[in-house]
Structure 1
Amino acid sequence: MNAMKILQSVEELLYEVMSWLLFYPRTLLMTLRHPLRTMHYSDAEQRDKPEKQYLETLSPPLFLVLSILLAHGLELLFGVGPTDEPNAASRFITGNEQNLLAFRALMFSLHPLVFAWAFLKLSGHRIDRESLRPPFFAQCYLAGATSILVSLGTLGVQEPSLWSTLAGIVLIGVITLWYIAIQRLWLAAVPGLSRWKAWAWAIGLYLLTTGLVVTANALVE
């Protein structure tokens, strides 16, 4: 009986992992082509039964985590690693792959958390664990797409070739502008928030959160 349960668990795990090969690129393309529609899709899925949610795509947090794993895999492929002489904080975080990936997941989840909080705050909604979930999940789609593209751009910047460096800078610049523009459109849905205020909030929150992430990363270099 226990052997059958183990086999069934293996079957489910195998199917789940292999399905990522199909649904990860689908989710990525969907987010890049129709970001706001994808975020609204996430909101709608949150209102469905748990077993019926995100049947056509990966769930937002899983998409973000897989993007981070893929970015880390690309770093290993291109030989990018931690600093040669890490400080105490760096030794703790980069001492093993689990700590490093957990740290990066927290860093890339900070933008979704801040923008989800701001959306609820500006909308006048009560902020609790239940109300925060839909906007946070929606934001994870943007964060996942951004993380993999920014990681690709960073790899390009670190290459000695001039063209690779320029391509990396352009990619990072384009995805940053795209990210801020989508956040502006998303925040513009808040009643009473003008276009220019939405721009100000989008840029301000992005700069603030990115500053926190850069500072945290600097501590482990």
Structure 2
Amino acid sequence: MNVLTILRSVEELLYEVMSWLLFYPRTLWTTLTRPLATMRYSDQEQRDKPEKQYLETLSPPLFLVLSLLLAHGLELAMGMPDAAPRSHLAQAIMHSEQTVLAFRALLFSLHALAFAWISLKLEKKRIDRETLRTPFFAQCYLSGATAILVSLGAAGIRYPSETATLAGLAVIAATTLWYLVIQHRWLMRLDGVGAVRAGLWALGGFTLSTSLVFAFGWLLS
């Protein structure tokens, strides 16, 4: 690899990273204010050529990872390091910041995976790696937004202040309600899925995926 090739690689990397400063806030704002429209946008982008996808926003998985990175940085800035690991498995995961972020990304992706599967099941579509991709990417936008809000709420709960604790609980409760409402409306768009059925699937999918998250957390305790 010659010097010119290296410089071009650095140029592309610099442009990509700096573009995040513009497109991350835009993606977060549109996801929070117009979540269903953002998810429909993701569905449409999946039908485009790979090099033409997500030109106006960050791609959903990248948005999720950057949200977790930002949330983790805010926790450290507030003087709230991760709890000391006790089990051998927890020590293996928590030994570096990279593995911590990777594990958090997996946890927050569980909800996206669950609702992507539910969507395909209700549409009576075959579930494979190709069909799962479109609803999963759409769900990653929601997971990225909730990752920021839930992490901020959790930081408030851990902060040694009653006011901060109450504020943290309120943020998590409001985020949970917002998430369930969006999932309910997202499932209702499917043919033959009424309000009651969509509500039951939304609540069931959220309960199952959240239980799995807590189960993984228990294994690491």
User: What TM-score do the two structures reach when normalised by structure 1?
Assistant: 0.97
Deviation at 1:88, TM superposition (A): 0.9
Structure 1 residues 49 and 80: CA distance shift in structure 2, 3 A:
same
SS of 1:207's equivalent in the other structure is: helix
The answer on 1:35 being equivalent to 2:35 is: yes
Query: CA offsets, 1:68-112, max 9 Å, x none?
Result: 111111121122223335111111110111211111111011111
- Counterpart code for 2:177: L
Structure 1 residues 85 and 45: CA distance shift in structure 2, 3 A:
closer
Given that 2:85 and 2:94 are in contact with CA atoms closer than 8 Å, whether structure 1 keeps it comes out as: no
Q: Which residue of 1 aligns with 2:162?
A: 162
Q: Which residue of 2 aligns with 1:182?
A: 182
Query: CA offsets, 1:172-202, max 9 Å, x none?
Result: 0001000010000011122111101100110
Structure 1: distance between partners of 2:155 and 2:49: 40
What does residue range 200-215 of structure 1 map to in structure 2 within 5 Å? 200-215=200-215
What does residue range 139-158 of structure 1 map to in structure 2 within 5 Å? 139-158=139-158
What does residue range 6-155 of structure 1 map to in structure 2 within 5 Å? 6-84=6-84, 86-155=86-155
Number of residues paired by the alignment? 221
Given that 2:68 and 2:105 are in contact with CA atoms closer than 8 Å, whether structure 1 keeps it comes out as: yes
- Counterpart code for 1:52: K
Two-structure CA RMSD over aligned residues (Å): 1.0
Structure 2: distance between partners of 1:78 and 1:128: 42
Given that 2:116 and 2:136 are in contact with CA atoms closer than 8 Å, whether structure 1 keeps it comes out as: yes
SS of 1:47's equivalent in the other structure is: coil
Query: CA offsets, 1:27-74, max 9 Å, x none?
Result: 000000000000000000111111111011000000000001111111
- Counterpart code for 2:127: I
Deviation at 1:166, TM superposition (A): 1.0
- Counterpart code for 2:6: I
- Counterpart code for 2:84: D
SS of 1:193's equivalent in the other structure is: coil
Structure 1: distance between partners of 2:216 and 2:84: 18
SS of 1:124's equivalent in the other structure is: coil
Query: CA offsets, 1:103-140, max 9 Å, x none?
Result: 11110111111100110011001111111111000000
Task: Specify every segment of 5 or more residues in structure 1 that has no aligned partner in the other structure, as ranges.
Answer: none
Structure 2: distance between partners of 1:170 and 1:83: 22
Task: Specify every segment of 5 or more residues in structure 2 that has no aligned partner in the other structure, as ranges.
Answer: none
- Counterpart code for 1:25: P
- Counterpart code for 1:210: T
Q: Which moved more, 1:154-163 or 1:37-46?
A: 154-163
- Counterpart code for 1:47: R
Hey, which bits of structure 1, 4+ residues long, moved more than 4 A?
none
Given that 2:111 and 2:143 are in contact with CA atoms closer than 8 Å, whether structure 1 keeps it comes out as: yes
Q: Which residue of 2 aligns with 1:199?
A: 199
